[in-house]
Structure 1
């Protein structure tokens, strides 16, 4: 069985375990909606930008550690939060074996039923302004990071006991680009940065302009995981139209991720703090699943 097939089977098993059936409706149609265990959601409006977000929270079925729960923040929350919440519940169940502290998971998504809000994520996750400033539908990473740091984190901390020194951020594709931007510009915002298939190519690799600043860090020592599907630059022929293959060729993923991980490891004091994974058999779309399954223990293994 290929790693890609195994990844899809893992996805199916995870999704099958994510939900519990609500009680039957009684008379009439016996089918009912499903609910996610130990999870809540709230729609909020960012005070500064006015943009609306749907916030998902999964609370561990375990008392908080004396320092508070470690917190995993997950972008594309509508799709990624159920998987992250499942992995966190399994981590909590196995804490006596692994020694991991039970994590709280916060998904950051958007109102509506779509797994991905393509317009909103392009607006919030991308970086870089042109000479006349960014268009309204992109380049809003700094404003979105302001929302997370100054509005969302205090909202979560007011409701749950959390450890501000043990917080992680996970994002895929444009979300991975945003994770790198947060790392380069606000390295103290999170203790662990999990960048899955980051779109480093965006605007001529402008995000990398912030990389040199990390070399001067002393008091702050974040940990970084960079992952990418091994098939992202060369997907199986016959399954991807030629025009899409041409676009992909102009937006390299594997080589850029590999190069960035190498550059980070070359900086003094960083080698032991950087993990890099080329996920065998994985293409761009589903690569976030194994990236997250590796990312959560990487975060929880934080000294």
Structure 2
């Protein structure tokens, strides 16, 4: 055996120290308890990316309540965090741990503009746009007939406690589902719905009162009809004026509050200081609370709140 010379020993020590001082390699960020998979709708339909967050806590006897969130690429991480917070405080609040399912699209974009216009809109608003818009019924069929059974086969779910959240065009879809498929979810959370779309066609669903009225939260940001001065062209301002968000939400809230069937099952929030781009965050948080709260006893008037 040959003895190590001082020079070789110092060189080896320098290599060790250099390796120890080198920065650690970056690794992808992961959400605790989260999974994702892609699936295509039957009949060579569109492909969707499905995100699932299952709590560490054991499921209640009836199964986990389930919150489905549209625009899952963007909304799922926020909803999953809120659900983990609920689970961590269940011994204090008594609220059941929650399963979250995000419905998104393949790719890294937070919002797939073309796909959400195709899937979330009610009827075709522009000539020649068939296939590019108005696919709400096909999308809801996919959720009900394909996605829900797949989630139920993988996780213990409470089929009597399921909610749907969506914002903007997603909020439009939520309203359409609440009015035309009220039994598909027990709670609907519509954030800043695009009620103006296609001549307010979504409101046609109110012509026939449902046999069983679900719970519905409607919300809007108080600043959505007040764009920042000097930043938009006159053409853009005129377009926004035709697509009122606050006025339409208020009018719908007034209409629902006057219908006996919705008494005690409807909540409206107009969030002070919030614009269209940010308001979905408090809407989601408040909607989760609305979903997990036990249904209120029928009251003489529906609840309306302004929140900051």
Provide the TM-score with structure 2 as the length reference: 0.85
Q: Distance in 1 between matches of 2:164 and 2:35?
A: 19
Aligned length: 275
Which ranges of 4 or more aligned residues in structure 1 deviate by more than 4 Å?
26-29, 130-134
Match of 1:172 among 152, 167, 173: 167
2:287 is equivalent to residue 295 of structure 1: yes
Q: Distance in 2 between matches of 1:62 and 1:262?
A: 40
2:260 is equivalent to residue 265 of structure 1: no
Q: Distance in 2 between matches of 1:63 and 1:198?
A: 35
Higher relative contact order (CA 8 A, sep 6+): 1
1:84-233 matched pairs, under 5 angstroms: 84-129=79-124, 135-214=130-209, 217-218=210-211, 220-233=212-225
Residue range with higher mean Cα deviation, 274-283 or 263-272: 263-272
Q: Distance in 2 between matches of 1:136 and 1:67?
A: 39
Q: Which has the larger radius of gyration?
A: 2
Cα deviation for residue 266 of structure 1 reads: 1.2
Cα deviation for residue 263 of structure 1 reads: 1.1
3-state SS, counterpart of residue 34 of structure 1: coil
Provide the TM-score with structure 1 as the length reference: 0.87
Aligned equivalent of 2:10: none
CA contact (8 A) 2:125 2:198 kept: no
Q: Distance in 1 between matches of 2:204 and 2:128?
A: 17
Q: Deviations over 1:34-87 (max 9, x none)?
A: 111110000001114511000000001211011100000000000000000000
Q: Deviations over 1:79-129 (max 9, x none)?
A: 000000000100111112222111100000000000000000000000114
**Residues 285/49 of structure 1: CA separation in 2 closer, same or farther (3 Å cut):** farther
Residue range with higher mean Cα deviation, 261-270 or 153-162: 261-270
Q: Distance in 2 between matches of 1:233 and 1:65?
A: 43
Q: Runs of 5+ in structure 2 lacking a partner?
A: 1-20, 296-308
Q: Distance in 2 between matches of 1:211 and 1:80?
A: 28
Q: Runs of 5+ in structure 1 lacking a partner?
A: 1-25
CA contact (8 A) 1:92 1:101 kept: yes
